Chains A and B, each alone.
Chain A
Amino acid sequence: MTDAVPTSTELAHVTTTMERIHTSMSSVLSGLDSVITTTLTTVLAGGHILMEDVPGVGKTTLARALARSIDAQVGRIQFTPDLLPADVTGVSIYQANTHHFEFRPGPVFANVVIADEINRASPKTQSALLEAMQEGSVTVDGTTHALPSPFLVVATQNPIEMEGTYPLPEAQRDRFMTHLSIGYPSADDEVAMIDGRDGGDPLARLTPVASLSDLEHASAIASRVYAAPAAKRYAVDIVAATRQHSRIKLGASPRATLQLIAAARAAAAFEGRNHIIPDDIKYLAPAVLSHRVVLTRDARHGTVTQAEIVGDLVANVPVPRATAPGARNVAGSRASA
């Protein structure tokens, strides 16, 4: 990562690339602009996405629309209770003619992996995917196989209250950068959705609008977005606040802070800015933090959700001023965080 702050030309590349993908996805998913934006922000930041909602609201469609809009290799895994780790990673098969075991890559060997209903599979199988996400490689029978780059997992899951689900362990939820909820569409959007289906499956009409290299380039640019001390401080303050909130049993980890800043960088780049503003952090905090906090039993038994609690918490953390000594924005005070 070079230290230089992205130039306006570079930022223009990011915005045009991401706008193209956004437009493409919006044509399939009406009324989901902000979810698409968050999704693309996560993609730009190189993070993985966990989508959680009731069946039928378009989680899979969103994931597929993303995959199809990028000229990328797509792998799709439908998680079921009897899915085995080998079904995810691939297996070595004995080839009688060569007397060798030949590795047959599983669906995880793709740039965009759609892990549908990830919480329907057994924890063992979930772990296989999550380890692949963490390591960037898969080890089968003692041989390590590198996953392609970029590697992006879009996992969907049903709310854990539903029957036949295995909730993801906290440590594994932490692997996902953002946690999104789609929600039911508005009446107008639902009508528009019906209209969109008239000419057949709209997904089939999608053509790739951005190449993998475009995306990789954009990601590289986004990672260089400048985070001012005041902005970093704000992210830290918010994450720290999750650890002190009375209704949160387990707060977010320092990794959450890093991912929040990374996501905020992407959001800034998405908007063509070369620096983070607190609005980026504020906007992304519920998505980045809500799946990482564990509510107290009281809170769980109430009607609040993690996202609501994080939202409430963000609304109360003061935005730091740039007045502390050294907090003044000068090049010398920059740290490549």
Chain B
Amino acid sequence: MNSASRTAPRWLMTALLATAVCLGALGLSAFLEERGWMTPIVGVVGITAVAVATARTWVTSRALPTMIGVLTAIAVMLPTFVRDDSGARAWLPTPDALAALGDTVAAGVNYSASTVAPAPVTPELAAILAIGFVMVFLVAENLTVSWGLAGTAGFVIFAPWLAPIILSHDVPFLALLGALACWLAVLGLAHRTTMSTPPVGVAPVMTASVGAALAAILIMPLALVSPAWGGLPTLDGPVGSSTTTVTRLSLDLDLRTSLGERSSLPVMEYDTSGARPDAFKLHSLSSFDGAAWQRTPGTEQSTVSTTDILWPLELPAPEEASSVRVDVSLVGLSEDNIPLPTTPRAVDIPAMVNYVRDLDEVQLQGQESVGLEYSFEMYPSMVEPALLVDGNGSSTVVDESFLALPDAMDAALLTQYTQDVTAGAETRLAQAVAIQDHLRDTMEFTYSPDVSVQSDDAVGDFLESRTGYCVQFATTMIMMSRTLDIPARLAVGYLPGTLQDDGTYVVEATDAHAWPELWFPQAGWVRFEPTPAVQSGTAPRYSTVDSVDEAARAEAFQQLDEEVFPTADANPSPQETSETAAPVAQDGDTTKSGRWEQWAVVAAGSVAVLMTVWWLAVRRQRSRTGLEEITPDVIWTELHQALPEPFRWADAMTPREAAGHVVAVAARETPMSPQARGSLTSLMQCVEDFRYAAVPSEVEGTPSQTVMREWSAVVVQEARAINKGARATARKSR
């Protein structure tokens, strides 16, 4: 059916809403690093909007266009965000592709929960942003166009703005104005069309509430799931002293002192050819007396050559492609050591340095670090989950001091606590991840630079107050790990800083940080991140539950390998590992499909809940004796309102007279087409039957609401055309 004249405001509203929603995405720019992430959101929302608007011109259903929008969004997001194993885009919504999309979303949620604002945008984060904004758009669009609730839709549209506004982040003012303008335009358009829409009953109100609640649930994780996003900009670091120009980390790390005001002096600047390092490490500490850390000098020293990969252990040769080159300038750092990433790396430095293997520090030999420029190649992929296995005779490799528990501490209590936390964790990595996740859990612990001085047992105090900063979190993880006989020590350094407009990263004194390093026999000292994301950002990629599974599989394979080939090297080469990935993948499939089932259950549950709500709403609506029903009377009133002025009939006209009136008014200019007259008569007959006919069976015989709406639209269209023609003639004759 052609009813362009009536649908014009509808597609316009859809377009305006899509614009408002995309501008809302800009509102999150305070939380995200680059601007490239706008493209997928605008693309997905835009294409969905076109699909919805097109659907609305063809169907009059309220829900169907939104359903089509959902399907379109999925169809667009699959090739955008999902790649199969060979890297090809997924075009078809196969179960695998959908599962992969689900995985991407899950990864995105994890990422957003663990990152700190402003976060670099990964494809996963872009995917959940795109999904979130598409949902916002679909809910707002459905509320506005289907139910005429443009006002309520405003709550949905502006929900994404709440996070930056409440957290007093910078809000792109022009974008906010633009979104407001779009919404006001939609309100204006909606006002024009709601005149002809049926009175709003309880069902749309319920739909609105449910929709708003869903939107809130969907958007909130983006903004608030992580206290990181709600947190203050990084204010934290181990106790550091700053002079006017240079910064030097204090290594008197006493857990009983609160973190003072930090300076924002730049410490170092760097450019990277790829990902930024997780952290820059300066010192390693192993001696803890229950309240403060002391530094112990290293023993194994060696001179550094530019080609050596510096790492406490000999690792399998890295793949060249995986290296990332970073050029560093120590603009304001005064240290004996140079900051280096926590992954295997080769340093190219124009100065005499020593590599202290047991401390994993690169020490300058009598040279001032301020103003020093150097570069390093880092190999982040070398520390991979397959290496994070327990191995044999683990802790004997390292010094006993890495397992020492201070006397001031209630070791038994901490052991018990740790065992509770790591219950069910089989491997060393699993235990470490369990501890790390426990400490990062914002429901359990609160990040605060202020600590209350209590006793010499700082870890005990921390577990009591559950409040502290990075040193408390790191120390606690170290002590908990030591109770499990995992060698652990404290590393001190800097967080990777923030990206500047010119593409360089700048690390400030406030980025000072401390974290635990745990010993893995085949991987060496491995960084973990127990401090909540508000300060530390993401946890290392290998310290996830997935990695635990991967490491467990690798270990299982190693044991198998040792049994079958007793002479084989205990350390499998990466190549072997990758070859063995295939048979193990069977296991992977089962866990994957298990997750797929979970998703299916969640999806089915959501659908069931939505259907129930819908059904209740419809039932409630029906029980209200047709008040909100789309009766012929309602459509008749719509027609009356939609007709141009001369065609509108007086209240005192009966349906028959009204129909006669419309035909007569038209006849003054151009007689109506038989089709329009027929539609008018049919609709009039429906109204008359509905109002006055005796037997319900006659009412049941009335055509569907859709058919009546079509009739009405035909009449309106013709009347408008005639009216336009009449005005044109009048203008010409003038």
A322-B633, A323-B627, A325-B625 known; A315-B694 Cβ under 8 A: no
Shortest distance between the CB of B2 and any CB in chain A (Å): 29
A330 near B: Cβ within 8 Å?
A: yes
Q: Which of B650, B651, B692 has the most CB of A within 10 A?
A: B692
Q: Contact between B694 and A328 (Cβ–Cβ < 8 Å)?
A: no
Q: Contact between A319 and B692 (Cβ–Cβ < 8 Å)?
A: no
B695 near A: Cβ within 8 Å?
A: yes
Q: Contact between A323 and B654 (Cβ–Cβ < 8 Å)?
A: no
Complex CA–CA separation, A74 to B317 (angstroms): 127
Q: Contact between A331 and B696 (Cβ–Cβ < 8 Å)?
A: yes
A276 near B: Cβ within 8 Å?
A: yes
Q: Contact between B693 and A316 (Cβ–Cβ < 8 Å)?
A: no
List residues of B (683-734) whose CB comes within 8 Å of A's CBs: 688, 690-696, 699
Q: Contact between A323 and B633 (Cβ–Cβ < 8 Å)?
A: yes
A279-B657, A322-B633, A323-B631 known; A329-B652 Cβ under 8 A: no
Q: What residues of chain A lie closer than 8 Å to B653, measured between beta carbons?
A: 319
List residues of A (318-337) whose CB comes within 8 Å of B's CBs: 318-319, 321-323, 325-326, 328-331, 334
Contact residue among A228, A314, A316 (Cβ-Cβ distance under 8 Å from B691): A228
Q: Contact between B625 and A278 (Cβ–Cβ < 8 Å)?
A: no
Contact residue among B691, B693, B699 (Cβ-Cβ distance under 8 Å from A321): B691
Complex CA–CA separation, A278 to B637 (angstroms): 17
A279-B657, A326-B625, A329-B699 known; A321-B694 Cβ under 8 A: no
Complex CA–CA separation, A242 to B283 (angstroms): 101
B674 near A: Cβ within 8 Å?
A: no
B626 near A: Cβ within 8 Å?
A: yes
Contact residue among B626, B627, B633, B652 (Cβ-Cβ distance under 8 Å from A316): B652
A5-B694, A329-B693, A331-B695 known; A318-B652 Cβ under 8 A: yes
B192 near A: Cβ within 8 Å?
A: no
Q: Contact between A226 and B694 (Cβ–Cβ < 8 Å)?
A: yes
A76 near B: Cβ within 8 Å?
A: no
A259 near B: Cβ within 8 Å?
A: no
Contact residue among A316, A319, A331 (Cβ-Cβ distance under 8 Å from B654): A319
A129 near B: Cβ within 8 Å?
A: no
Q: What residues of chain A lie closer than 8 Å to B651, measured between beta carbons?
A: 318-319
B295 near A: Cβ within 8 Å?
A: no
Q: Contact between B694 and A334 (Cβ–Cβ < 8 Å)?
A: yes
Shortest distance between the CB of B323 and any CB in chain A (Å): 76
Q: What residues of chain A lie closer than 8 Å to B655, measured between beta carbons?
A: 277-278, 319
Q: Which residue of A lies closest to B660 (CB)?
A: A279
Complex CA–CA separation, A231 to B691 (angstroms): 8
Q: What residues of chain A lie closer than 8 Å to B626, measured between beta carbons?
A: 323, 328
Q: Which residue of B lies closest to A238 (CB)?
A: B652
Q: Which residue of A lies closest to B632 (CB)?
A: A322
Complex CA–CA separation, A228 to B695 (angstroms): 10
Q: Contact between B652 and A228 (Cβ–Cβ < 8 Å)?
A: no
Q: Which residue of B lies closest to A322 (CB)?
A: B691
Q: Contact between A321 and B633 (Cβ–Cβ < 8 Å)?
A: yes
Q: Which residue of A lies closest to B637 (CB)?
A: A321
Shortest distance between the CB of A271 and any CB in chain B (Å): 11
A228-B693, A331-B696 known; A319-B652 Cβ under 8 A: yes
A277-B688, A322-B690, A325-B627 known; A314-B652 Cβ under 8 A: yes
Q: What residues of chain A lie closer than 8 Å to B62, measured between beta carbons?
A: none
Q: Contact between B633 and A282 (Cβ–Cβ < 8 Å)?
A: no
Q: What residues of chain B lie closer than 8 Å to A334, measured between beta carbons?
A: 694
How many residue pairs link A and B with beta carbons under 8 A? The number is 73
A316-B652, A323-B631, A326-B625 known; A275-B693 Cβ under 8 A: yes
B620 near A: Cβ within 8 Å?
A: no
Complex CA–CA separation, A315 to B650 (angstroms): 9
Q: Contact between B694 and A228 (Cβ–Cβ < 8 Å)?
A: yes
A122 near B: Cβ within 8 Å?
A: no
Q: Contact between B654 and A282 (Cβ–Cβ < 8 Å)?
A: yes
Q: Contact between A275 and B692 (Cβ–Cβ < 8 Å)?
A: yes
Q: Which residue of B lies closest to A334 (CB)?
A: B694
Q: What residues of chain A lie closer than 8 Å to B631, measured between beta carbons?
A: 322-323, 328
Complex CA–CA separation, A115 to B626 (angstroms): 52
Q: What residues of chain A lie closer than 8 Å to B637, measured between beta carbons?
A: 321
Q: What residues of chain A lie closer than 8 Å to B657, measured between beta carbons?
A: 279, 282
Complex CA–CA separation, A155 to B379 (angstroms): 116
Complex CA–CA separation, A243 to B657 (angstroms): 25
0/1 interface trace, chain B 165-203, chain A, CB 8 Å (1 if under) = 000000000000000000000000000000000000000
Q: Which of B650, B694, B695 has the most CB of A within 10 A?
A: B694
Complex CA–CA separation, A5 to B698 (angstroms): 13
Complex CA–CA separation, A329 to B656 (angstroms): 19
Shortest distance between the CB of A267 and any CB in chain B (Å): 13
List residues of B (651-675) whose CB comes within 8 Å of A's CBs: 651-657
A318-B651, A321-B637, A326-B625 known; A277-B656 Cβ under 8 A: yes
Complex CA–CA separation, A117 to B733 (angstroms): 58
Q: Contact between A228 and B692 (Cβ–Cβ < 8 Å)?
A: yes
A277-B654, A318-B652, A322-B631 known; A330-B690 Cβ under 8 A: no
Complex CA–CA separation, A5 to B656 (angstroms): 22
Q: Which residue of A lies closest to B695 (CB)?
A: A5
A274 near B: Cβ within 8 Å?
A: yes
Complex CA–CA separation, A301 to B625 (angstroms): 50
A317 near B: Cβ within 8 Å?
A: yes
Please list the 9 inter-chain residue pairs (A to B) with the smallest Cβ-Cβ separation, ordered nearest first.
A226-B694, A318-B651, A278-B654, A322-B691, A228-B692, A5-B694, A230-B691, A275-B694, A279-B654
Can you list 6 A-B contacts (CB < 8 A)?
A5-B694, A276-B692, A319-B654, A321-B637, A329-B690, A329-B694
Extra pairs beyond A228-B691, A318-B651, A319-B654 (18, CB < 8 Å): A226-B692, A231-B691, A231-B692, A274-B693, A275-B693, A276-B692, A279-B656, A319-B652, A319-B653, A321-B691, A322-B690, A322-B692, A323-B626, A323-B631, A328-B625, A329-B690, A331-B695, A331-B696
Which chain B residues have a beta carbon within 8 Å of chain A's beta carbons? 625-627, 631, 633, 637, 650-657, 688, 690-696, 699
